[in-house]
Chain A
């Protein structure tokens, strides 16, 4: 059974870099049939797509976060990572990783299934 588990610091200071890891079990993160994504939910409960990593090594980022964002994969550890720089209070959220199932092979649309439990990150001094 595929499981995803997010981990990382729960508190980050303003202007610093937020770093999170998602450990995937039950499937290979190199599986060419899927992408691997980060999504966050703000305290107001709004969900926001952060970005995506695919098996070819390509990344796709939310335009509103692109300049501060880096998503990568460590295939030896079957882990997805997220780095978001220059954080502010607006980046306080629960961060989720999820498997992205494309509608058709090679397309960027599709759906997220399953999701990890999420990890709360608070940006505060």
Chain B
């Protein structure tokens, strides 16, 4: 069965760029949408954005100016970059398969496979 694993630095300095990678195993990254979601300590879930294997993306409007999601189909990976981070970006970051259809105006899908999550702390 498909499994997802997040990887990347657990500590990022304020104003720097957070970079995470999600590796998909047990299946192909093709034909699905893939999302990043985060959860600040003790709080709820926030969708960050999605990417299709073809490279099309869209992002949460509240984060759009700082987010880039990319895909490397040869490695079965997709990645997240979040620039100019502050303490408010401290969270557990999850990658997830999004089963459905996403476009430039909507993402009608459900996150049916999740990674275990990785904690990222923003601190000097």
A binds B: no
